[in-house]
Amino acid sequence: MIARATTRVFVAGHRGMVGSALVRHLQALGYEDILTATRSELDLTDQAAVQAFFRRHPIDQVYLAAAKVGGIHANNTYPADFIHDNLLIQANVIGAAHRAGVRKLLFLGSSCIYPKLAPQPMREDALLTGTLEATNEPYAIAKIAGIKLCESYNRQHGRDYRSVMPTNLYGPHDNYHPDNSHVIPALLRRFHEAVQGGEPEVAVWGSGRPMREFLHVDDMASACVHVMELDEATWRAATQPMLSHVNVGTGQDCTIRELAETVARVTGFEGRVVFDASKPDGTPRKLLDVSRLRGLGWEASIGLDEGLRDAYAWFRANAQQARA
């Protein structure tokens, strides 16, 4: 049993969508000693600062939810930032955790680590079996490096650093930037503004045919803690022979056209939806095989309709502050 009240947990990235959901979930479970640091208090790309932070604070567990993230356009436009910042953050936090003797760490990756044309649904062992999707290759390479860093510290130093690969996430505290965000916040915003402005038409990027799987961030937070709390023998048995990572998703996907129709329903938009073929589609399909995590006793519980209503309610309540 984990002594939740006395376990000191560091959540890196606690102001982001996943990090803030993790803090809420950990608190609800009775974790009382949660350490966080804002960007002005700790720059995670600064190796010396990160090492000093870990020397100052004894830590039992790290959730590495800090990352530079964005949708298809942001990944395609700022590839240097995506690979550079993520490599630094990961190397600094994972390396400093090891130097400070932290035994347990959970690294958050992304389903874009798998090959563009991997067999669907994608199993964990599809990693490094083919060419990556071009629009987010630099980000994916950084995330693959993060998995391999954890794996290597486990192999060389006997650490217990685990990785989770979430499918496309959404929910409260998402980034609602009109261009740089992921598809769900972008469409919630665009359809909302069309309703407000009485516009007859909304444009959705690409062909509408790509398929995506979406997971509410509260489900993601619950999966992260579930994986962190698994005892080492159970985790090792499930992740042999790679001692590596586990997929986190719902096991269900839909087309972007279907998503747009659901967002129209949720936002009350009754006009026309058109598709802008000048924008990229990205990977044709990205559905995770979630049987490994199911076998470890976790399943998603928030459906897309319910989750979209929750995200939309948050956006409406926070439209002024929503990062944009």
Q: Which residues bind ligand GFB (CB under 6 A)?
A: 71-73, 75, 110, 112, 135-136, 139, 168, 181-183, 186-187, 204-206, 210, 212, 256, 279-282, 286
Minimum CB separation of residue 36 from ligand GFB in Å reads: 24
Least Å from the CB of residue 202 to ligand GFB? 10
Return the residue nearest ligand GFB (CB atom).
71
Closer to ligand GFB at the Cβ: 10 or 139? 139
Rounded to a whole number of angstroms, the minimum distance from the CB of residue 269 to ligand GFB is 14
Show the tokens assigned to 301: 């519980």
Query: Which of 61/135 has CB closer to ligand GFB?
Result: 135
Residues acting as catalytic residues: 139
Q: Which is nearer to ligand GFB, 150 or 273 (CB)?
A: 273
The string of DSSP letters for 47-97 reads HHHHHHHHHHS--SEEEE-------HHHHHH-HHHHHHHHHHHHHHHHHHH
Q: Which is nearer to ligand GFB, 245 or 286 (CB)?
A: 286
Nearest distance in Å: CB 33, ligand GFB: 31
Q: Least distance (Å) from ligand GFB to the CB of residue 208?
A: 8
Dist CA 309 CA 120 (whole Å):
28
307: part of which helix (H) or strand (E)? helix 304-317
83: Cα within 13 Å, side-chain hemisphere: 13
HSE of 235, CA atoms in CB hemisphere, 13 A: 21
Least Å distance, CB 279 to ligand GFB, is 5
Tokens of 81: 């930032």
Pairwise CA distance, residues 55 & 95, whole Å: 12
- 233: number of Cβ within 10 Å: 8
Q: Which is nearer to ligand GFB, 105 or 287 (CB)?
A: 287
Residue closer to ligand GFB (CB basis): 159 or 216: 216
91 with 258: CB under 8 angstroms? no
Mapped onto helix, strand or coil, the DSSP state of residue 221 is helix
Rounded least distance, CB 256 to ligand GFB, Å: 5
- Pick between residue 75 and residue 267 the one whose CB is nearest to ligand GFB: 75
287, 249 Cβ separation under 8 angstroms:
yes
Alpha carbon distance 106, 87 (integer Å): 16
Q: Return all residues near 176 (Cβ < 8 A) that are at least 6 apart.
A: 185, 186, 188, 189, 315, 322, 323, 324
Half-sphere exposure of 125 (CA within 13 A, CB side): 7
Sheet of 61-64, strand order:
33-35, 8-12, 61-64, 104-108, 160-166, 245-248
Any idea which residue has 């690979």 for tokens? 83
